[in-house]
Amino acid sequence: MARLDSKLTCPADHYAARRRRLAVNLQRPLLILAGRARSRNYPANTYPFRAGSSYLYFGGTPIEGAAWLVEPGSDGRNGCTLFRPPGGFDDTVWMGEPIPDDAIANAAGIPKGAVVDTSIVQSKTGRRPVVAVIPPCLESVQWMASLRISPAGPDELRPIIDLRLRKDEHELAAMRHAAATSVQAHLAGMLATAPGRRESDVAAAMEGVVKQNEHDLSFTPIVTVRGEVLHSSGGANELRTGQLLLADAGTEERGGYASDITRTYPVGGVFNPIQRQIYDIVLRAQRAAIGACVPGRRYRDVHDLAGRVVCEGLVDAGLLRGNVADLAGRFAHTLFFTHGVGHLIGLDVHDMEDFGDLAGYATGRTRRPEFGNKFLRLDRDLEPGMTVTIEPGIYLVPALWQQHELVGPFADVVNRPAIERLLETGFGGIRIEDTVHVRDAGPTGPEVLTAALPTDADVVADIVRRA
C-alpha cells in the first residue's frame, strides 16, 4: 500500500480549516484539479507525476486525475468532495494497490463518503456556475472543456493566494527539510568542481544527493560556466581553472515544498582579484536585501536596495562612475543586475507563478517598464510567514552590450573600456541566492532557511579546493 502519510505535510484538521477559510470567500463552487503526468513521447511514457500545488495545499492526496470540489459556505468537511479516478485490476497490476478511500478521507479531514468517483463530477456540478483551478495539463484542460467548466477568475484565485502567501509551522518545517537537502546537494557540487571535469559532473553530484534523500528537484538545475545566461542548463563544458561555475539548484520534499539556492564557485578554488571584488559586491547586496526582509517592507524596495548596493560596488570596481544615488535612480545597475531580486517560494519554487502577477503583485501595482526591473516577479508588502528568495547578481552579457537602446542612455556613466576588457576574459556572472522566511518584527530578524550553506568567498573557495 502507498505511504499516504509521507505525502501530506499537515494534520487533517489544518486542511479542513484551509478549505473552510477558502469557502467563506467563494461565490460559486470551485473545482481544484490535481492534473496528470505529462507524456514524454507517447501516452504511457510520462514524466513523474506532480500534483497541482493548490490541490495539495487543500489536502489532496497526490493522485492523477483527482480533484477537489469546494462549495461556498463549506465548513471544510461538509461541502467538500474529493473526486478520484476509478481503478481497475489492470491498474493494480501495473501500479500497485490503490490508496483506500478511508485513508484519503482521514488524511484530508473529510467524511469517507466524500471521496467519490470522477465519473460523477458532471452530476455533482450539473448546470451550476462551477469554475476550476486547472494546472497546465492538456488532459485537465480538455476535461474541463468537455464539462463546460471555465477557469477560475480573480475572485476565486485571490482567496487562495491570500491563504498560500503566509506559511504555517507545518509548511515551514517542510521547507526547512527541503533546504537541508539542498545544502547537502550544493556541498556535493562544490566538492565536484574540479578542473577537467564537466558541468554535468557537478550537476550529477548534486542530483545524486537529492535522490538519496528521496526528494525531487524543484526545477531543472542551472549548473554552468556561462553564468551570464540566466537559465542556461549547462552540461558539456569542461571546467577550467580560473572560471566561475554558477550553480542554481533546489529540492522539493515529498509534500511538494521547495527550496532554492544559488552559489558561484571558483573552479580551482581561487577567485582572481576582479572576480573576488564582484563576488563581494553581490554578497553585500544580498546581505542588505535579506536584512530588509521585515514585516511592512515593500519587496520592490528590497529589490531597489540591492540595486543601490550594486551601483556602489560597481563604482568602487571602476565599471560605473558617478554619484551612487543618481546611478541607482537611473537604474544603471540593470545593465549588470539584469533580473529581479527574487520571488515567492513555497509549494513551487516560484510559488503561485501559475497565477501570474495576480499573486506576485498587490492590487494596484504593476511591473515597471525598465529592462531588469520589469523582470521583478514580486511587489507586495512583506508579512510574517511569507517566504521569498533573495538572489542578486552581476553579469556581463555580451549581447546586451551590443544593444545601443539599452547601453546608449548610460554612455556617460559606463566605463566601456573596462567592460570590454572584462568581456574578453569571458567573465560570465555571479549570483548568490538563499531562501528567506519573513518573521515577526524583533531582534532575530528574517530566518534564512538555507543559511547552513556558506556564502563567504574564502569559505566557498576553501571547500572547492578540496575537490
> Which CATH number is 408's domain given?
3.90.230.10
Same structural domain for residues 175 and 275?
Answer: yes
Helix (H) or strand (E) holding 30: strand 30-33
Domain that residue 92 falls in: 4-165
C-alpha cell at 114: 466524500
| SS3 state of residue 450 | coil
Same structural domain for residues 230 and 351?
Answer: yes
Same structural domain for residues 317 and 411?
Answer: yes
pLDDT at 5 over 90: no
**Burial environment of residue 369 by CB neighbours within 10 A (0 to 12, 13 to 18, 19 or more):** exposed
pLDDT at 257 over 60: yes
pLDDT score of 2: 38
pTM for the complete prediction?
0.95
Q: How far apart are CA 87 and CA 89, in angstroms?
A: 7
**Burial environment of residue 61 by CB neighbours within 10 A (0 to 12, 13 to 18, 19 or more):** buried
Residues 186, 453 contacting (CB under 8 angstroms)? yes
Residues 378, 299 contacting (CB under 8 angstroms)? yes
Q: How many residues does the chain have?
A: 467
Q: How far apart are CA 247 and CA 344, in angstroms?
A: 20
Residues 168, 14 contacting (CB under 8 angstroms)? yes
In tens, the pLDDT along 141-156 reads 999 999 999 999 999 9
% of the chain beyond a pLDDT of 90 = 90
| SS3 state of residue 243 | coil
How many domains would you assign to the chain? Answer: 2
The residue-averaged pLDDT of 110-128 equals 93
pLDDT score of 96: 81
In tens, the pLDDT along 328-378 reads 999 999 999 999 999 999 999 999 999 999 999 999 999 999 999 999 999
pLDDT score of 311: 98
- Tell me how crowded residue 333 is: count the other CB atoms within 10 A of its CB: 28
Q: How far apart are CA 214 and CA 208, in angstroms?
A: 10
The residue-averaged pLDDT of 443-467 equals 95
Same structural domain for residues 161 and 199?
Answer: no
pLDDT score of 397: 97
pLDDT score of 7: 65
Out of 139, 165, 191, a domain closes at 165
In tens, the pLDDT along 187-207 reads 999 999 999 999 999 999 999
Task: Let me know how many helices (H) and strands (E) the chain has, helices first.
Answer: 16, 18
pLDDT at 6 over 60: no
pLDDT score of 1: 32
**Burial environment of residue 1 by CB neighbours within 10 A (0 to 12, 13 to 18, 19 or more):** exposed
Same structural domain for residues 151 and 234?
Answer: no
Q: Per-residue confidence at 467, pLDDT binned at 50, 70, 90?
A: confident
Same structural domain for residues 138 and 253?
Answer: no
Same structural domain for residues 143 and 188?
Answer: no
Out of 165, 185, 216, a domain closes at 165
**Burial environment of residue 447 by CB neighbours within 10 A (0 to 12, 13 to 18, 19 or more):** middle
pLDDT at 3 over 70: no
Same structural domain for residues 92 and 237?
Answer: no
Domain containing residue 71: CATH number: 3.40.350.10
The conformational region for residue 112 under phi > 0 = left, psi -120 to 50 = alpha, else beta, is alpha
Same structural domain for residues 352 and 409?
Answer: yes
| pLDDT averaged over every residue in the chain | 95
Q: Per-residue confidence at 87, pLDDT binned at 50, 70, 90?
A: confident
Same structural domain for residues 267 and 153?
Answer: no
C-alpha cell at 239: 571546467
Residue 17, CA distances (Å) to 58, 155, 163 in order:
9, 20, 11
- Tell me how crowded residue 175 is: count the other CB atoms within 10 A of its CB: 27
Q: Per-residue confidence at 4, pLDDT binned at 50, 70, 90?
A: very low
Which residues, 6 or more positions from 25, have their beta carbon under 8 angstroms from its beta carbon? 158, 159
Largest Cα separation within the chain, whole Å, is: 73
pLDDT at 94 over 70: yes
Please name which of 452, 24, 12 lies closest in space to residue 263, comparing C-alpha atoms. 452
Same structural domain for residues 195 and 173?
Answer: yes
Query: For 31-48, b where at least 16 C-beta lie within 10 A, e where not — what string?
Result: bbbbbbbeeeeeeeeeee
Helix (H) or strand (E) holding 16: helix 12-24
Which residues, 6 or more positions from 266, have their beta carbon under 8 angstroms from its beta carbon? 242, 243, 244, 245, 275, 460, 461, 464
| SS3 state of residue 217 | strand
- Tell me how crowded residue 238 is: count the other CB atoms within 10 A of its CB: 13
- Tell me how crowded residue 103 is: count the other CB atoms within 10 A of its CB: 17
In tens, the pLDDT along 23-76 reads 999 999 999 999 999 988 888 888 999 999 999 999 999 999 999 999 999 999
Residues 135, 35 contacting (CB under 8 angstroms)? yes
Give Cα 319 to chain centroid, integer Å. 31
C-alpha cell at 266: 571558483
Residue 56, CA distances (Å) to 40, 135, 221 in order:
24, 12, 24
Same structural domain for residues 174 and 125?
Answer: no
The residue-averaged pLDDT of 167-188 equals 98
Out of 143, 165, 187, a domain closes at 165
